Amino acid sequence: MEDWDFLKVLLFFTCSVHLSGAVPHSLQYIYTAIIPTLNCTAVGLVNGEQIVYYDSSTKKMITKTEWVKMIKSVDPQYWKIQTQHMQNQQERFQDNLEEVMQIFGHAKGVHTLLKVYGCEIGENSTFSGHYQYSYDQKDFFHLDLKTGTWTPADEKAEIFIKWWDPKGDNAKYWKDFLETDCVDWLKKYPNNGIQVWQHKVSPKTFLFQKESSPPEVVCDATGFFPKALNISWRKDGEDVHLDVDLRETLPNQDGSFQKRSILKVSAEELQKHTYTCVIEHSSLEKDLVLPVSERRILRDGGSGGGSDGGQIGIIVGISVALVVLVVAGIVVWKKKNSGFKPVLPKPSSEGDSSSNNS
């Protein structure tokens, strides 16, 4: 079995363990810089699940899970700190790649520098941390947490360390970061994750009709959390299943959700019978019942636009499809001497970032 296939298997078991409610929690960051593009990207993972993505070309950190989006919305200052951390890291990481290439005498070609660091809290609050560089898929050097010093893989790594950290300030910084900040951040994610999943936000609702043949009555719910919500239709108090188009639930940019259902019946049916839209959600004490008779009419192409769709405050913050090829791989821990040392996967296109050191 090749290394990458082996990592896929490990990823499966890692996710299975965490999904089953295992006690250990881990926070990891993976940065990759690639020459000749000199593009840097980064991913953050909690318990093996990707939570954020950062790209040096956009200088933006993008949330990859709904519960992290909610953390971002309720704690903007924390998010600002995280973003600054990644920006600082990737700026220095670009310089690191160019310096390493000079040490190896690589003036041309495709070369990749990978940095992985993180911490894990195990059963009985045991702690382990790691910080490691690799160049062109080979170990370069790593941090020995016991001694707070760097362990180079070869003479070229020694040369780089002497240039990059002549007084050992970076080693001291990262030892302190892994044992304090990293642990604090890791504790924040599971706690906020629990709080977010328990948090409930009621939907904003809109009922309107599009001019078409047959008429389309749209029942729209948005801004709600958690995700589970049901929209149904009733005719004279009886459930309606025919002529109904129930759309899938979509995410909003703030971590909430939106959903809509479309009823297609003739204008005569709408006049002869009493139709209602019923919305069910865990945030509601009782179901919302919206009479179709109170719907707003949208007239496409009408002059003035006073009562057209522009005035309907439908919050449809559909998340932009992120076409981001991130195959950062999963960091596999293995015992080495006093601590754990990650086995680095084949790098793809991830970036670098930290606070003041890299």
**253 Ramachandran zone, left/alpha/beta (phi>0; psi -120 to 50):** alpha
Q: Which amino acid is at 329?
A: G
- Residue (of 310, 309, 246) closest to 277 by Cα position: 246
- Predicted TM-score (pTM) of this structure: 0.53
204-311 has which CATH code?
2.60.40.10
- Tell me which CATH homologous superfamily contains domain 3-198+321-343: MHC class I-like antigen recognition-like (3.30.500.10)
> 107: helix, coil or strand?
coil
Measured in whole angstroms, how far is the alpha carbon of residue 39 from the centre of its chain?
Answer: 20
Counts of helices then strands in the chain (DSSP H, E): 7, 20
What is the residue extent of each domain of the chain?
A: 3-198+321-343, 204-311
Sheet holding 288-291, edge to edge: 238-240, 229-235, 275-281, 288-291
Q: From the first residue on, what is the mean pLDDT of each consecutive set of 10 residues in the chain (358 residues)?
A: 33 32 72 84 84 83 73 74 80 85 90 93 83 94 95 96 95 94 80 59 91 85 89 94 91 80 91 94 93 84 35 29 29 36 37 44
Q: Which tokens in the block code for residue 237?
A: 């108090």
pLDDT on residue 233: 95
User: In sequence order, what are the beta bridge partners of 43?
Assistant: 30, 53
- Residue (of 205, 215, 232) closest to 298 by Cα position: 215
Tokens 């001019």 -> residue: 211
pLDDT on residue 13: 29
